[in-house]
Amino acid sequence: MAVDQRIIEMWRKRLGGVRFDPPIDYKLIFYDAIKGLAKPGYSFLDMGTGTGRVIFDNNLRDVYDTVIGVDIRPEMVTLCKEKAKGMRNVDFVVGDATKKMRMNPNTFDVISSMFGPHDPAEVSRLLSPGGYFVYIDSIRGDHKEIIKQFPELSKGIDGSPRLTTIKERNSKLKSVGMEVISTNVLSYKWIFKNDEALRQFYEKILFAPVFDGKEDRLQGLEHLIDGSIMITRRLCTTVAKKL
């Protein structure tokens, strides 16, 4: 379905010309779910925390009694610990969320993952009975326009084990003792100048070495996302409860 040009122009102006989004930021759905689940005495774990954005941007220390961020990269943990100085109930540790970590089972009331690799079995192990898992990630079939345009990139874009269908994801969560409470799929578009701009952007976003978190992932690419080629993104926020 064609997108109304007036809507595109409105969002170009609002966002500085770099992309066309629907009138809601995908992070708001994810963040609202995390904050909405908080209760006095609850503990919270953010998997693949990176620079700690989920924790710091939402002031989670004010709504959870204990807040922990885990990341596989020691430099990210060091950076977050610096940010968290003086916060008595916030800490960060090194760990690989795709494997069994050195954490006690049934420890956390809420666990989150924002585009981070994770093992559903480990999430279930760490959650307290009745605890919640909130995560957001792309859905298999995302980036379909670029796959059509550059077939040779299709395996790298759509072949990641992380990119599954909603049905596959829900089935995996069910297999480790969790029940899906809600799913929210949000689609939006990035607008590119030309084929080469599209390729450059995706090579950095999807195929570059692990992002080090020292700069915005989009930094230096803004000039590429301002044209007539529109790429649909489909992101799914899922909330699951441990039975």
Residue bearing the bigger pLDDT, 24 or 208: 24
> Residue 93: beta bridge partners?
70
Question: Quick check: 150 and 238 in contact, CB under 8 A?
Answer: no
Domain that holds residue 180: 5-242
3-class DSSP assignment, residue 121: helix
The pair of three-digit structure tokens given for residue 65, joined into one six-digit string: 């009694």
Evaluate the CA torsion angle 26, 237, 148, 22 in order and state its sign: negative
Residue bearing the bigger pLDDT, 87 or 9: 87
Round to whole Å and give the CA distance between 62 and 39.
Answer: 11
Residue 223 has pLDDT above 70, yes or no: no
Residue 236 amino acid letter = C
Total tally of structural domains belonging to the chain: 1
Helices of type H across the chain: 5-14, 26-36, 53-57, 74-83, 120-126, 144-149, 154-158, 166-175, 195-207
Evaluate the CA torsion angle 241, 178, 119, 204 in order and state its sign: negative
The CATH number linked to 204 is 3.40.50.150
Return the pLDDT at 212. Answer: 43
Round to whole Å and give the CA distance between 35 and 58.
Answer: 8
The pair of three-digit structure tokens given for residue 5, joined into one six-digit string: 């040009």
For residue range 182-210, list pLDDT tens digits in order: 999 887 776 666 667 666 766 665 554 43
Round to whole Å and give the CA distance between 92 and 69.
Answer: 5
pTM of the model: 0.77
